[in-house]
Structure 1
Amino acid sequence: TTNSLSTIGNNQPTPLNEISLDFPTNLLVYITTRTYLLTMSVPALKEFMATAPVPKPPQIPDPSGSTPLTHHEWRTASNSATHLLKALHALRDARPDVKLLDVGCGSGSITATLALEIPQGLVTGVDKDPEILKRAELVARSWEAENVTFQTGDASKLPFPDNSFDIVHCHQVLTWQKEPWVALAEMLRVTKPGGIVSAREGDFRTEAVWPETEGLKKFHDFTEKLMKTSGGHSDGGRQLLGWALKAGAKREDMRVTWGSWGYSSTEEKKAWSDGMVGMLQGGRLRGMALKMGLATEDDLDIMIKAWNEWFQSEEATLSMMSGEILIQK
């Protein structure tokens, strides 16, 4: 029996570019939405704008009382893994019992929503932090994703045999790895022949925020220093292709795109600002920043105040680009 993409169509291996979008998704959505808006009455337009698509994940109490996971749990397959969905659906249609691995799954909102895309498949989420996996179990249940399991594991040494999964995915994981190509090589190792490796990595240097206050500039500089000191890469999105080549992937087997996040509605701004404030107020990040001399208590408080003021501003917006890659093994 052939596996994954090789079962599509006439049972011949299907190149990745044949199942990829031939038309830019964002542009297609823009044209479709704009055409729709131009045909609407004023009352209907107001209703549409009031109910424009905004991710509304299930609300799960955080026992710690803090909110550092708010933005992480805002992330879903539909807003953070769009580049993967067409390939995922092609695999699902050819072989419903798709096996997918989500590397560095964190609190599991993307993991759970990917599981909903393949109801007859099986999704495994791995993360090196056993505590966050307890949260991931709650998140998966809140999404009613029953075909997902979680276990501890390190991205640079995945606890699975070769050729175990049809799709191996990660999101905002490689940018925090000192040698991200090692993790990508591991992801390729555990992917079945003909299967897909998917990654989406932020490029923090592309962040555009308004109003651009001194406190937010301080936060940007602080985050860049934190990533560099921790061995990460604040410009990971633009390096993603190079990392994949260094991991042993062939250029003709890849599809590289760019995606973006944007925050302007009240719900979106709250998700982002609550996440930033939560991380700055307490927990490991604040302690690490102080211990490493990356910021003072006053610096952190200035940044917290800046994010709270940004949330309250009616003109506040924020966007950031992410590099995206699909690799067919």
Structure 2
Amino acid sequence: MASYAPGHAASQTKHHEWRTAENSAAHLLPHLDTLARTKPNLKLLDVGAGSGTISAGLAAHIPHGTVLATDISDDILTRAAAHATSLGITNISFQRASLPNLPFPDGTFDVVHAHQVLTHLSDPAGAVRELVRMCAPGGVVALREVDMHMWCFWPAVDALQKFQGLMADVLVANGGQDEAGRRLVSYALAAGVERKQVEAGFGTWCYSAPEDRKAWGGSMIERLKTSQMRSKGIELGIVTEEGVGEMIKAWEQWIENDEATLGIMNGEVIIKK
């Protein structure tokens, strides 16, 4: 992936930084703890780490191991490094690198983790093949991807439903996958993984507390005002300027509504090497 279409502006990364190992990689943590008991000096690769909030949490779970966090943007890796430093986490390093050709030999890492990466790729199965290649025998590859069609809003406002469709349509127009969450097992099998190696499940995000509504809704409003999603949507005729205005107003009302909730379903897979 030579570029990341949504970009790394604050409107894009603000809600990413809400993510932690606990709320976004819970499917990996038991496996991580089990592996660390027999091999404390685990080597973990976090691909597409972004702002590094999940990466730092994973590093905290393996204090005697090491984490290498990669992304395609030097700027976002600088931000991730500053976050780790602010938490006093020292067993983590950062390197610019890009799927599908990561510069690491076969079997370099005990754990390979990718969160919300495959959904942005035109060849997710090829990316899984590359992630599995870098995992050592006895290790695990952990994947988690959103499904753009499994969002649940309350109140079920029409403008918010249309926003969900806008996000999905622009993602596909950029060459991404709007159903990645439900297709993770398929990607793994297409990558040559045997079915018996794959554990599959689903996990959710919930945005309902006032601070969570503000983080998510505020980020979506900024996207509607300034991001590539807005310009691409208008260019392709997916949305109009008037429609964008209605979506902004709906998000503003959603943030202020104490009844408001948003649930998002994510597919999760553990591949045992």
If the length of structure 2 is used for normalisation, what is the TM-score? 0.92
Note if 1:230 corresponds to 2:174.
yes
- Contact 2:121-2:175 at 8 Å conserved across structures: yes
For the pair shown, which has the larger CA radius of gyration, 1 or 2?
1
Among residues 233, 243, 257, which one is paired with 2:201 in the alignment? 257
**Displacement of 1:214 after TM fit?**
2.2
CA deviations 1:288-321 (Å, max 9, x no partner) are: 4444444333332322221111111121011011
Equivalent runs, 1:75-224 vs 2, <5 Å: 75-224=19-168
For residues 264-306 of structure 1, what are the alpha-carbon distances to aligned partners after superposition, in whole Å with 9 as ceiling and x for unaligned?
Answer: 1112212211221222222444344444444333332322221
Q: How many residues align?
A: 266
- In 2, Cα distance between equivalents of 1:222 and 1:65: 19
Q: Distance in 2 between matches of 1:297 and 1:254?
A: 45
Query: Alpha-carbon deviations, 1:193-250, whole Å to 9, x = none?
Result: 1110000111121110011112212201111111111111211111010000001111
Query: Quick one: distance in 1 between partners of 2:79 and 2:224?
Result: 20
| Deviating more after overlay: 94-103 vs 209-218 | 209-218
Question: Residue type matched to 2:128 in 1?
Answer: L
Q: State the partner residue of 1:305.
A: 249
**Separation (CA, whole Å) in 2 of partners of 1:197 and 1:66:** 29
Q: Determine the C-alpha separation between the residues in 2 that align with 1:192 and 1:65.
A: 35
Question: Percent same amino acid at aligned positions?
Answer: 42
User: How far apart, in 1, do the equivalents of 2:129 and 2:112 lie?
Assistant: 11
The aligned counterpart of 1:12 is none
Using the TM superposition, give the Cα deviation of residue 67 of structure 1 relative to its aligned residue in structure 2, in angstroms.
Answer: 4.3
Deviations 1:68-104 (A, max 9, x none): 3221011000000000001000111111111000111
- Give the direction of change, closer, same or farther, for the CA distance of 1:301–1:170 in structure 2 (3 Å limit): same
Decide whether aligned partners of structure 1 residues 313 and 179 sit closer, same or farther in structure 2, where only a CA change above 3 A counts: same
CA distance 1:127–1:66, change in 2 (3 Å): closer
Partner of 2:3: none
Q: Which runs of 5+ in 1 are unaligned?
A: 1-63
> Which amino acid is 2:69 matched to?
G
Kindly provide the amino acid, as one letter, of the partner of residue 139 in structure 2: G
Residue 277 of structure 1: SS of its match in structure 2?
helix
- The answer as to whether partners of 1:203 and 1:237 remain within 8 angstroms in 2 is yes
Q: Structure 1 CA distance, aligned partners of 2:200 and 2:158?
A: 35
Whether the aligned pair in 2 keeps the contact of 1:113 and 1:143 (CA below 8 Å) is no
- Structure 2 distance, partners of 1:175, 1:93, is 32
Match of 2:14 in 1: 70
> Which protein has the bigger strand share?
2
Q: TM-score, normalised by structure 1?
A: 0.77
* Other-structure match for 1:274: 218
Q: 1:131 to 1:289 in 2, by over 3 A?
A: farther
Label 1:163 to 1:107 Cα distance change in 2 as closer, same or farther (>3 A): same
